[in-house]
Every structure is written in C-alpha cells, then in structure tokens.
Amino acid sequence: MRPLAFLLALPVAALLPGCGGDLDGSVSVAGSSTMLPVMSSAAGTFAATSPLTRVNLEMTGTGAGFTALCDGVADIAGASREISDDEKARCAEEGVPTVRLLLARDALVFFTGASNAKPACVTLPDLYALVGPESVGVSRWSAARALAKSLGSGTALPDARLLVVSPDASSGTRKLVEETVMKPIADTRGKDAAIRQDATRVASDQVMLAQVVRAPTALAFAGYATVRPWEGTVRTLEVDGGTGCVAPTPEAIRAGTYPLTRSLFMYANADALRDDATVMAFAEQVVATAAADDDGSVPLGADAVGATRDALAAAAGGDLRGT
C-alpha cells in the first residue's frame, strides 16, 4: 500500500540498561500496512526516550517488505503472512539471515458499508462467487447467487450494487485471500486462484475506506487490525467456514474459531539484531507493543509472547532457530 515514511527520534536507554541514552543509529522498517499501527506505536514509544536514534517506516505491503529485507534496505519487515519459499531463497542468495517472530493474531475481514444490512453472514463459496476469478462482470450481489449455489451455498444474496474493493498486488492480505479463500475452490474448477480482475484496487487503507463510504453496498477486505478503528463506519460480515456463522471478534480470533484467522509476524535481519543495539532495542519494543493490545490487533497469550521474546534473544545471540 502507499508508502508511509516517518523519521523519529528514538531513545533506547530504557530498553537497554547500561547503554545510556547515547545510541545514535537508525532502524529501517518496511512491510505490511496491516502492521503500521503496531510499528508506528512502537516507534512513538521509542521516540519518547531518546533523541539520538531514528526509525524509518515504509509500510507498502508484505511483499515489498520482504524485498527490502532481502535487499538489505530494511532491518525489519512487518508481515501479514509467512515468507514464501521464493522470498526465503532470495534472502539466502543475498546473504541475509532472517528470523521470524510471531507478534499477534489478526484476521482477514470482509466488510461493507454500515448502512448495508444484508447479508449478515457469507460462506466461503459466497466469497468465491463474489470476489473470485469467475465473478468478473458481476455487478450485483444477487448475480453471484447461481455460482454460489452450485458450490453448495444457500445464502440469499441481496439485489444490491456490488463493487469489490481490493488491496493492490503487493498486499499480503490480498495474497492470503487468494491462497486461503480462492485457491481451494479455484483448484477444483481449473481456475487461477485470483481476485477478480475488475476489482477496484486501492493503494492505501484510507482510500479503501473512502471507496466503501462512497459506495455503501461495496464489498472490501482488509486485516482486522485495519478495520477495527472503522467500527460504525463499516459493517464486518460474519463468515461461515462450514460450522456456522462466526463474527471476527477478538475472542473468536484468539481462539481460532473465526475461519479466516491469521498471524502477524516481524521478520528481522539476524545480523542486524546481533550487531546493532538500536535495531535490537526497537525489535524488543515492537514485541512489547504488540503484547499490549493497543494497536488494533489481537495480542498473544503470555506463553506465546514469552516464546517470541526467547526467539528474539536467541537470534541476537547468533542462534537462528526462530527462522
């Protein structure tokens, strides 16, 4: 999504006992816009303690974050999906050792305008019929009924205008929708697992929100952490993954009962963690911020947070078991 860059003064004395406030390095962070709330919150806390260090945030998409990490441009990448085999191989080719750190739980959330009352719940076949590769040209919700029904859905889709709003191609959220919602059905039908080609692609979360406000019967999707602050402006849809309709609530996401639950990660250059105290201190702050439940995502339990901190400490010591 659209680059958002900030240069912030970041003290690290409170995070690294014995270092004083005299570190003057910088940290470069790239990746998923879903991760912008936690990264910017961590950067703000970091900035409150020392004027001598800086954080540069460019949250343009998970894929772009991994590219920046593998190229050595970014020290840290925020990710709304796991790194792919191709991306992992590219980092290895570039000599960049990476460590994966689980930060929080999130979910893929489909939403429409707050004034659009129907449907309350959709099935995975409904989503395929509305958003998938065979829905090109479908301009009303009801026009997707036949395909959804042939796939086993009994949802009564309303006779309302349909505008599908999607993140752009670099988005980890878009890729996850293609892999988790589209692919299982597309593969059985000999189709590409892709978002419909005529979807309106947007370059930022705020543009997505504006599109839905202008077209209240639109259907869009984003991460729960992104949509959570929009409560009252948009309405999230319950999803039936085969065991009944479940709303994307923090409790359902944490328990994994919401069908489209996912994890949020921080990938870091392990050499930078080990060799640069400023990068390590910022990574520690990100973990602490994600655990505090003040950025829109769903925090991990105490055991999982402890495991993430252990993996971070191990990576800083040269042990890459967290990769």
Same domain, 96 and 121: no
Structural domains counted in the chain: 2
Q: What CA dihedral angle connects 51, 53, 54 and 55, to 10 degrees?
A: -120
Same domain, 143 and 242: yes
Is 1 among the domain residues? no
Mean pLDDT of 274-302: 86
Is 58 among the domain residues? yes
Q: What is the largest CA-CA distance in the chain?
A: 67
Is 79 among the domain residues? yes
Residue 170 and residue 62 in contact, taking contact as beta carbons nearer than 8 Å: yes
Domain region containing 284: 7-106+264-316
Peptide bond before residue 248 is cis, with ω within 30 degrees of 0: no
Tell me which amino acid residue 200 is: T
Is 321 among the domain residues? no
Cα distance between residue 181 and residue 74, in whole Å: 30
What is the share, in percent, of the chain residues with pLDDT greater than 90?
67
Same domain, 288 and 309: yes
Is 322 among the domain residues? no
Burial classification of residue 203, based on how many CB atoms lie within 10 Å of its CB (0-12 exposed, 13-18 middle, 19 or more buried): middle
- Whether the pLDDT of residue 1 is over 90: the answer is no
Residue 295 and residue 37 in contact, taking contact as beta carbons nearer than 8 Å: yes
Is 2 among the domain residues? no
Angle between helices 85-93 and 62-70 (to 10 degrees): 20
- Whether the pLDDT of residue 131 is over 90: the answer is yes
Say which residue the tokens 């409904």 belong to. Answer: 126
Residue 65 and residue 74 in contact, taking contact as beta carbons nearer than 8 Å: yes
Helix (H), strand (E), coil (C) string for 75-124: CEEEECCCCCHHHHHHHHHCCCCEEEEEEEEEEEEEEEECCCCCCCEEEH
Global pTM reads 0.75
Same domain, 292 and 196: no
Same domain, 201 and 113: yes
Same domain, 95 and 141: no
Residue that finishes a domain, picked among 222, 243, 261: 261
Same domain, 173 and 117: yes
5 closest CA partner among 47, 56, 78, 72: 56
Same domain, 142 and 216: yes
Q: What is the CATH number of the domain that holds 177?
A: 3.40.190.10
pLDDT at 61: 86
- Whether the pLDDT of residue 322 is over 80: the answer is no
Same domain, 74 and 111: no
Same domain, 126 and 100: no
- Whether the pLDDT of residue 182 is over 80: the answer is yes
Q: Mind listing the pLDDT tens digit for each residue in 199-235?
A: 999 988 899 999 999 999 999 999 898 898 999 999 9
Is residue 17 very low, low, confident or very high in pLDDT (cuts 50, 70, 90)?
A: very low
Cα distance between residue 148 and residue 300, in whole Å: 35
Same domain, 55 and 92: yes
Is 68 among the domain residues? yes
Same domain, 57 and 154: no
Q: Is 244 left (phi over 0), alpha (psi -120 to 50) or beta?
A: left
pLDDT at 259: 95
Q: Mind listing the pLDDT tens digit for each residue in 144-164?
A: 999 999 999 999 999 999 999
